[in-house]
A and B are shown apart, each in its own frame.
Chain A
């Protein structure tokens, strides 16, 4: 797996028994897959099929509500999505005053170094290459919980 990760926001998920993850992907199959992968690692999962729905859930949509703020411990999103890309979603999250501390992980089936560095520069916690495997989620949890293995 090709990945890059930044060291800021490390330990954000420490002491969270059942982290709540928002998984964003336009592919039905990939959504089902990522949901199962995350649930197997004791995460509570909400899925969204596009960036707009994701923002709505986070309370950053067109009709901002503050119900879901700080309930989400991690956002994991596909890069290539119609409408709003994962990168654009990442930017919107990082631009918001309430949500900017939430770690965002980008997934992509394409290993494009420019894409990876662009996302990391914008504040993505990690970049993961699809198809996502159990070992990827294990590594993700490890990094976000600052554990040593």
Chain B
């Protein structure tokens, strides 16, 4: 059946997001909060995240263009961004945030800039993957929260 096939695809897509390290346990927490009163909770949070994070990334980018670097400010901006990324379970993005903060503390501007490029890449990759996942999930129709290994 077409539907079953689609659902299997969705489950596989979801599983790979975890096994490939894009998402962590926090994403599962979000899924568990999704229910009849909030049937699109996860997607709403993801949308909110991408709306907010685009702004954050712009702010950080602008701050990085100002030299000498204000590492305190950069660290503060990144702290916020890391927080949101953590709340949504964006594992790889969070790791780059952490790296960036370490470079800030070391006063390493080069390191910050390099890491920032990696961070933007991870951020964009996750966005594409999540969009594809949500779209497919919608097409496959409502399904009980995907089971996960206990």
A80 on the interface (CB 8 Å rule)? yes
What distance in Å separates the Cβ of B120 from its nearest Cβ neighbour in chain A? 19
| Stretch among B3-11, B37-45, B102-110, B141-149 lining the A interface | B37-45
Query: Do residues B86 and A131 form an inter-chain contact, with CB atoms below 8 A?
Result: yes
Q: List 30 A-B contacts (CB under 8 A).
A: A26-B80, A27-B80, A27-B83, A28-B48, A28-B52, A29-B45, A29-B48, A29-B49, A29-B88, A30-B83, A30-B84, A32-B45, A32-B48, A33-B30, A33-B33, A33-B45, A33-B87, A36-B38, A36-B41, A37-B33, A40-B33, A40-B35, A80-B79, A80-B80, A109-B79, A130-B86, A131-B26, A131-B87, A134-B29, A134-B33
What distance in Å separates the Cβ of A78 from its nearest Cβ neighbour in chain B? 9
Give the number of residue pairs across the A-B interface with Cβ within 8 Å.
50
- Among A37, A80, A131, chain B packs the most CB atoms within 10 A around the CB of A131
Tier of interface size on chain A: 10 to 19
Q: Kindly list chain B residues whose C-beta atoms are within 8 Å of the C-beta of A40.
A: 33, 35
In addition to A30-B83, A130-B86, A131-B26, 13 A-B residue pairs with Cβ atoms within 8 Å of each other are A27-B80, A28-B48, A29-B49, A29-B84, A30-B87, A37-B33, A40-B35, A109-B79, A109-B83, A130-B83, A131-B86, A131-B89, A133-B29
Q: Mark A75-86, 1 if CB is under 8 A from B, else 0.
A: 000001000000
Q: Kindly list chain A residues whose C-beta atoms are within 8 Å of the C-beta of B52.
A: 27-29
B82 on the interface (CB 8 Å rule)? yes
* Bound form: Cα–Cα A33–B38 in Å: 12
Residues on A lying within 8 angstroms of B by beta carbon are 26-30, 32-33, 36-37, 40, 80, 109, 130-131, 133-134
Residues on B lying within 8 angstroms of A by beta carbon are 26, 29-30, 32-33, 35, 38, 41, 44-45, 48-49, 52, 79-80, 82-84, 86-89
* Bound form: Cα–Cα A114–B67 in Å: 33
Q: Kindly list chain B residues whose C-beta atoms are within 8 Å of the C-beta of A32.
A: 44-45, 48
Contact residue among A27, A29, A80, A134 (Cβ-Cβ distance under 8 Å from B32): A134
